[in-house]
């Protein structure tokens, strides 16, 4: 059985807890990116996709990578299954890395979103907000990601994130406004809140209270499905 490069990448990266970085953790994160990049370069190519398939890259953090879940239950796999069940010839590639911020996503954008990609789901911001990053810093990184994808003429679905409600009204207002502002600016499809119906719902979360379990992923997929179908319709 052949295993895709991105699958190998995520088996390695998902083993790390997304928010456990001290100095040693940050060093390990850098090392893991180097190792994962080597894996991507050295592994044999995955089988060629069918000519009619649309390939969507799901670029994000642990919410995409499937932290704490088997890869078959991660967001990309479940979304692909749901889309195929609705008659769409698609592949959804898991380009999520646990612990990534928007700046991390920008740093790996060029090799994480390869030449065979037809459309991109962009999901970042949870780790930025948990670390208290300034909203302007987050917005700048996301803006750069969307700009570079627009230069490649790739349609984008931007998944919104909400700031933790204990960070104060000014921070919340500035952070939450990032996503609709950027969607308007870049003409991206906006899914307002990636964790809609899942955040703070114990039945849909792992024991850490942050990451969706398999049932939570199913809720997310059900919510985002119409937006992804709109994304597919934007592929030329």
Cβ atoms of 131 and 101 closer than 8 Å: yes
**Which entry of 7, 32, 118, 211 is annotated as an active-site residue?**
211
What local confidence, expressed as pLDDT, does residue 51 receive? 53
Please give the structure tokens belonging to residue 164. 């933790």
What values do phi and psi take at 230, rounded to 5? -65, -40
SS3 92: strand
What local confidence, expressed as pLDDT, does residue 50 receive? 53
On whether the pTM is more than 0.85, the answer is no
What are the average pLDDT values for consecutive 10-residue runs of the chain, which has 236 residues?
38 41 45 43 41 91 98 98 98 98 98 97 98 98 98 98 96 98 98 98 97 98 98 96
98 catalytic, yes or no?
A: no
What local confidence, expressed as pLDDT, does residue 206 receive? 98
Element (H, E) at 172: helix 169-176
211 catalytic, yes or no?
A: yes
What local confidence, expressed as pLDDT, does residue 48 receive? 44
What local confidence, expressed as pLDDT, does residue 149 receive? 98
What values do phi and psi take at 88, rounded to 5? -90, 130
What are the residue ranges spanned by the domains of the chain? 52-233
What local confidence, expressed as pLDDT, does residue 52 receive? 75
What values do phi and psi take at 45, rounded to 5? -65, 150
Scan for tokens 């646990």, then name that residue.
Answer: 98
**Which entry of 7, 62, 128, 176 is annotated as an active-site residue?**
62
Please give the structure tokens belonging to residue 9. 């990448």
- The CATH classification number of 52-233 equals 3.40.50.1110
Cβ atoms of 149 and 188 closer than 8 Å: no
Scan for tokens 């992923």, then name that residue.
Answer: 217
Cβ atoms of 59 and 94 closer than 8 Å: no
Cβ atoms of 214 and 73 closer than 8 Å: yes
62 catalytic, yes or no?
A: yes
Cβ atoms of 223 and 197 closer than 8 Å: yes
């Amino acid at each position: 059985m052949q295993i895709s490069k991105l699958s190998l990448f995520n088996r390695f990266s998902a083993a790390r807890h997304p928010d456990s970085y001290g100095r040693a953790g940050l060093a390990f994160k850098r090392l893991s990116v180097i190792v994962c990049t080597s894996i991507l370069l050295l592994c044999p190519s995955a089988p060629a996709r069918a000519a009619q398939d649309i390939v969507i890259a799901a670029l994000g953090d642990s919410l995409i990578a499937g932290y704490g879940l088997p890869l078959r239950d991660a967001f990309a796999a479940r979304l692909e299954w749901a889309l195929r069940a609705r008659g769409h010839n698609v592949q959804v590639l898991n380009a999520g890395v646990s612990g990534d911020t928007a700046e991390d996503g920008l740093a790996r954008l060029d090799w994480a979103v390869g030449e065979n990609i037809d459309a991109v789901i962009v999901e970042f911001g949870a780790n930025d907000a948990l670390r208290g990053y300034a909203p302007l810093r987050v917005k700048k990184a996301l803006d750069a990601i969307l700009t570079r994808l627009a230069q490649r003429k790739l349609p984008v679905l931007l998944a919104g994130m909400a700031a933790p409600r204990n960070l104060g009204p000014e921070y919340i207002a500035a952070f939450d406004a990032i996503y609709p502002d950027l969607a308007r600016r870049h003409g991206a499809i906006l899914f307002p809140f990636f964790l809609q119906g899942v955040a703070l719902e114990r039945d849909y979360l792992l024991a850490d209270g942050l990451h969706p379990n398999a049932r939570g992923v199913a809720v997310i997929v059900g919510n985002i499905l119409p937006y992804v179908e709109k994304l597919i319709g934007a592929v030329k």
